[in-house]
């Protein structure tokens, strides 16, 4: 019923616009007498959300408002040359009268609706063209509140996103954002003091199991042995499943892996390959659960690569904008949706975030023998093609730790200061049960020989 009603509304709007176009040769109507407000918005645009009460107020007062989701109706986006969201276009007699970009007051929108359609035209100064080669439409002068001190031309320029607006993403970027959003989870890690909230990203699946990448300091207090709850966000609902720590480092590298069994199909994101580079200055976006809330997206750029702890040889990324509590462990993604980093900490004085870089992610995967996840494959924009599921064929992720590649190599017999042994003890008759995980620092040669002699 709702879909049918929406379709009818769109058809009625098309008929109204067609009628306006048919009478453009007639005498100009009175100022604002038949104006329609077209509101262009996006589902992941915070300023658009802020405008919803204002638009509802206008509609309740009898003003016709046509809502356009830029991802659903790209033909109208192209027709009106929209470059940012939210954008508000006033149409009268089939022609654009003016447009306002960014968050607006009801007073500003009412003033724009009252503009005389026969007033002087102001060009948008856009250098692009719409579909069919048509120039981006001109617009008339918008009346501003004198107290705002703003220039009218600032409101009609389509060359720069004004404050309170969001650049409209391309369809491929929007797809990358949605894939990253769907793979983002919230973690609640319990210890003797209660629990702390963090964020994680699903990076692989195998059978009924999924692997979540997050930060290691979430498990510093409970040493990975406490209760872990993982929230997945599916179709507007939150589904909670237990999690199990597979491996973690809570110190210099600050990285961890958690295994979950969602009970339904999930799609992982691709991890950036070892042969692919992150560039200083490149745009990126992150997802995180601010103060334990549902995941939210932040757009940013990379401002530094391996700036910190260089003497330790660890990999890290610095981004613009300091994350807040709850985003720890959340993913940083490039424009194709590949995961390039994991949130570790924030510098509020400098307003930057610090993320575990690709090298730390690769290091963590290598520790459990899952480097095949880094096989370089070009990112696909085909929404119908699921990302590859590549947990190793030995079985579950817990089983992977038992078969850590380093222990299968002859060089593992010779201990060094960088080696450690991860031991998992579980009931073979109940492999899905909770295993006991132990980490043995600085193993001796005798211990390594003993493990290798008993390994299958």
Q: What is the CATH number of the domain that holds 52?
A: 3.40.30.10
SS3 (DSSP) at 348: coil
Give residue 176's pLDDT band: very low, low, confident or very high (50, 70, 90): confident
Is position 360 within any domain? no
In the listed set 227, 243, 263, which residue is the last one of a domain according to the structure? Answer: 263
Same domain for 114 and 251? no
Same domain for 47 and 160? yes
Same domain for 32 and 81? yes
Same domain for 206 and 154? no
Same domain for 259 and 134? no
Tell me what pLDDT residue 334 has: 94
- Model confidence at 112: pLDDT above 80: yes
Q: Helical H runs in 376-431?
A: 397-402
Distance of CA 94 to the CA centre of its chain: 38
Tell me what pLDDT residue 244 has: 94
Angle at 200 between CA 437 and CA 316, to 5 degrees: 95
The overall average pLDDT reported for the chain is 74
Tell me what pLDDT residue 23 has: 29
Q: CA dihedral in degrees (150, 101, 158, 351; nearest 10)?
A: 80
Is position 304 within any domain? no
Instruction: State which residues form the domain around 229.
Output: 187-263
Contact by Cβ (8 Å): 244, 428: no
Same domain for 74 and 114? yes
As a whole number of angstroms, the longest Cα–Cα distance in the chain is 97
Instruction: Determine the Cα–Cα distance for residues 138 and 140; give it in Å rounded to an integer.
Output: 7
Instruction: Determine the Cα–Cα distance for residues 33 and 26; give it in Å rounded to an integer.
Output: 14
Tell me what pLDDT residue 286 has: 95
Is position 388 within any domain? no
Most confident of 105-114, 130-139, 386-395: 105-114
Same domain for 107 and 239? no
Same domain for 42 and 139? yes
Label residues 232-259 b or e (16+ Cβ within 10 Å = b): bbeeeeeeebebbbbbbbbebbbbbbbb
413: CB partners within 8 A, 6+ apart? 445, 448, 449, 452
**Among positive and negative, which fits the CA dihedral 399, 404, 409, 413?**
negative
In the listed set 263, 285, 309, which residue is the last one of a domain according to the structure? Answer: 263
Tell me what pLDDT residue 446 has: 61
Instruction: Determine the Cα–Cα distance for residues 417 and 410; give it in Å rounded to an integer.
Output: 17
Half-sphere exposure of 204 (CA within 13 A, CB side): 22
Is position 277 within any domain? no
Instruction: Determine the Cα–Cα distance for residues 12 and 198; give it in Å rounded to an integer.
Output: 47
In the listed set 202, 229, 263, which residue is the last one of a domain according to the structure? Answer: 263
- Model confidence at 299: pLDDT above 60: yes
Is position 284 within any domain? no
């Amino acid at each position: 019923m709702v879909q049918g009603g929406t379709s009818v509304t769109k058809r009625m709007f098309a008929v109204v616009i067609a009628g306006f176009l048919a009478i453009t040769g007639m005498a100009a109507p009175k100022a604002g007498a038949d104006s329609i407000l077209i509101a262009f918005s996006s589902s992941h645009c915070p300023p658009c959300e802020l405008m919803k009460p204002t638009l509802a107020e206008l509609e309740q007062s009898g003003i016709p408002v046509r809502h356009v989701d830029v991802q659903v109706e790209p033909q109208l986006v192209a027709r009106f040359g929209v470059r940012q969201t939210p954008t508000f276009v006033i149409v009268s007699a089939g022609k654009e009268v003016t447009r306002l970009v960014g968050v607006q007051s009801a007073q500003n929108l009412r003033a724009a609706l009252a503009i005389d359609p026969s007033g002087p035209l102001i060009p948008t100064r856009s250098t692009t063209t719409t579909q069919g080669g048509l120039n981006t439409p001109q617009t008339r002068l918008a009346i501003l509140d004198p107290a705002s001190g703003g220039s009218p031309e600032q409101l009609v320029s389509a060359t720069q996103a004004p404050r309170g607006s969001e650049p409209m993403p391309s369809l491929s970027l929007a797809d990358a954002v949605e894939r990253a959003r769907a793979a983002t989870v919230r973690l609640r890690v319990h210890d003797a003091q209660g629990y702390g909230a963090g964020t994680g990203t699903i990076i692989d699946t195998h059978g009924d199991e999924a692997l979540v990448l997050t930060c290691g300091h979430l498990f510093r207090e409970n040493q990975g042995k406490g209760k872990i709850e993982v929230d997945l966000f599916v179709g507007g609902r939150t589904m909670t499943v237990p999690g199990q720590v597979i491996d973690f480092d809570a110190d210099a590298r600050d990285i961890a892996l958690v295994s979950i069994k969602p009970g339904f199909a999930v799609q992982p994101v691709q991890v950036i390959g070892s042969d692919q580079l992150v560039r200083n200055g490149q745009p990126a976006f992150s997802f995180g659960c601010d103060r334990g809330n549902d995941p939210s997206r932040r757009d940013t750029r990379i401002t530094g690569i391996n700036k910190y702890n260089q003497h330790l040889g660890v990999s890290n990324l610095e981004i613009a904008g300091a994350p807040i509590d709850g985003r720890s462990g959340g993913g940083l993604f490039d424009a194709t949706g590949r995961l390039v980093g994991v949130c570790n900490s924030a510098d509020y004085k400098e307003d930057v975030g610090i993320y575990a870089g690709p090298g730390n992610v690769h290091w963590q995967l290598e520790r459990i023998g899952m480097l095949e996840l880094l096989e370089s494959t070009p990112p696909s924009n085909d929404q119908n093609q699921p990302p590859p599921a590549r947990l190793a064929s030995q079985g579950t992720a817990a089983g992977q730790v038992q078969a850590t590649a380093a222990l299968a190599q002859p060089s593992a017999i010779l201990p060094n200061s960088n080696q450690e042994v991860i031991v998992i003890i579980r009931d073979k008759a109940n492999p899905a049960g909770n295993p006991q995980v132990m980490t043995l620092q600085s193993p001796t040669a005798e211990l390594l020989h003993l493990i290798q002699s008993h390994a299958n």
